Amino acid sequence: MKVALIQMNSGSDKAVNLASARALIEQAVKEEKPDWICLPEVYDFMGGSMKDKQAAAEKLPDGPAWTMMHELSKKHGVFIHGGSILEKLDGEERLGNTTVVFNREGSEVARYRKIHMFDIVTPDGQEYRESKAYKPGDTVATYDCEGITIGCSICYDLRFPEIFQALVARGAEVIALPSAFTLQTGKDHWEVLIRARAIETETYMCAAGQTGTHTQGNEVRATYGHSLVADPWGHVVAKASDGVGYIAARIDPARVKKVRSMIPVAQHKVKLT
């Protein structure tokens, strides 16, 4: 299976973001002919006020981002793992930070809402309180991609190994990680954590990131980029630099099976008390 990871610099103009996503998907399809494409976290809208976010959010299954992914997956006969978009939730002012996945026929086959909220203060004093804007999900999600089981995660989930173990327990051989990692945390933690999750789970990790800057209130914030694919041995087999674009790599299910036969960690687990 050939995969393509889209790296974007989304901002607070939804129409511009969707046009950029469409152009990058079209470019990747033309140049790489992938089977599966992953977009980054909140590729449809980053920054702005809470009111701006609410106005940009979509009631699924509907809205311009959902419709674009539905149309492009069907048009090109490709799976689209829709990074994440802002979702309107019934009876809730907060939004869902939500992955939607489409198969080659344009049918929605999976939906996942980010579980772990990024509520931290960075070393330079910038405060991130995702839980003010987003309601956390409570359910892990996997789906079948023509015989390969793919697990869903988003950004800050990366720091919680238990969600990745839960995905493996459901049969995941590939785990998608659309992200908008901060520059400060990303430069020290991004690659090492992705490689660690790949080694622990003996899966391919496919991490599509946001890059560059965006404005949040009165602050200019920077994301790390460096989208990458790590194999089940923890090797980085494809990696983006700075800037908007995409990377491509091949996923080999036989590689997963070989690594799991060499070091059968799933058979060695013990229940701790």
Active site residues: 41, 114, 155
Q: Which has the closest alpha carbon to 175: 130, 196, 7?
A: 196
Pairing mode, strands 36-38 and 204-207: unpaired
Cβ-contact 37, 25 below 8 angstroms: yes
Residue 39: DSSP 8-state:
P
Q: Sheet holding 228-230: strands in order across? A: 142-145, 148-152, 174-176, 204-207, 228-230, 236-239
Task: State the Cα–Cα distance between residues 133 and 41, nearest whole angstrom.
Answer: 15
Q: Which two tokens stand for residue 221?
A: 């914030």
Helix axes 183-201, 161-169, angle to 10 degrees: 30
Cβ-contact 229, 3 below 8 angstroms: yes
Cβ-contact 100, 82 below 8 angstroms: yes
Helices (H) and strands (E) in the chain, counts: 8, 17
